[in-house]
């Protein structure tokens, strides 16, 4: 993989990690409400999971396979 491609993936990874943290904070704040919006929480959790899957996918691309 070229250095340019690695750099691009690392930048994308950082953006996804930031978005993941922001959604986590949003979920935490919503849970503090006396009557949290369950539909909104479900949407946030689904988006958070999608982002986590993207993060894992990029991390797998960046880390070379280790043959034991």
pLDDT tens readout for residues 26-58: 999 999 999 999 999 999 999 999 999 999 999
- Is the per-residue pLDDT at 68 higher than 70? no
Domain containing residue 12: 3-62
CA atoms within 13 A on the CB side of 11: 6
CA distance 10 to 50: 18
Helical H segments across the chain, by residue range: 3-32, 38-62
Residue 36 has φ and ψ, to the nearest 5°, of: -65, 145
pLDDT band of 2, cuts 50, 70, 90: confident
Q: What is the mean pLDDT of the chain?
A: 92
Nearest Cα to 52, choosing from 25, 11, 20, 6?
20
Q: What global pTM score does this model have?
A: 0.84
Q: How many domains does the chain have?
A: 1
């Amino acid at each position: 993989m070229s250095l340019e491609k690695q750099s691009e993936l690392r930048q994308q990874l950082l953006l996804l990690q930031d978005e993941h943290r922001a959604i986590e904070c949003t979920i935490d704040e919503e849970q503090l409400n006396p009557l949290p919006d369950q539909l909104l929480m479900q949407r946030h959790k689904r988006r958070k999971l999608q982002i986590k899957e993207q993060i894992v996918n990029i991390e797998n691309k960046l880390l070379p396979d280790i043959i034991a």
